């Protein structure tokens, strides 16, 4: 049980840090945060919305309890990461730097897997 908790919080912490570093510039609508969204052809007003949605998702994942909200947060962050990856590939074609997206997607899946493993271990 203790091992699962450590792995869960380590992976979830790494995933949350990645998403937080991404969400803060978007929420503040800095030029750095809006650059990629505008380059893909999306309107600039979408940037703060995505940043706030990411922040709320991170909070939902980190706060104990609220299993249904946590499930929605994992789903929303998954769609965000897949959407960014797909949009980047659709805009520029496949570029090797896009492979970096494997890391946060992997952290997301590992966090989700160990969240359920931790929850099921607490029940039994």
Q: What is the DSSP letter of 99?
A: G
pTM (2 d.p.): 0.90
Mean pLDDT of the chain: 92
Tokens representing residue 61 in the block: 């994942």
pLDDT at 30: 86
HEC string for 28-74 = CCCHHHHHHHHHCCCCCCHHHHHHHHHHHHHHHHHCCCCHHHHHHHH
Tokens representing residue 40 in the block: 């893909």
Q: Which whole-number Å values give the CA distances from 72 to 13, 17, 38, 57, 84, in the listed order?
A: 18, 19, 27, 8, 18
At 112, the pLDDT band (50, 70, 90 cuts) reads very high
> Which of 80, 75, 87, 71 lies closest to 18, judged by CA?
80
pLDDT at 123: 76
Q: What does the alpha-carbon distance between residue 73 and residue 106 come to, in Å, rounded to a whole number?
A: 16
Dump pLDDT digits (tens) for 41-51: 889 889 999 99
Does residue 74 carry a pLDDT above 90? yes
């Amino acid at each position: 049980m203790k091992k699962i908790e450590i792995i869960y919080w380590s992976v979830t912490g790494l995933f949350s840090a990645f998403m937080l570093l991404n969400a803060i510039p978007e929420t503040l609508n800095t030029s750095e945060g809006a650059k990629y969204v505008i380059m893909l052809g999306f309107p600039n007003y979408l940037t703060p919305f995505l940043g706030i949605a990411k922040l709320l998702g991170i909070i939902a994942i980190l706060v104990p309890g609220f299993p249904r909200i946590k499930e929605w947060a994992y789903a929303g962050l998954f769609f965000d990461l897949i959407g960014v990856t797909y949009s980047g590939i659709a805009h520029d074609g496949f570029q090797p730097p896009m492979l970096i997206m494997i890391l946060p997607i992997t952290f997301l899946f590992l966090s989700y897997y160990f969240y359920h493993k931790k929850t099921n271990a607490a029940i039994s």
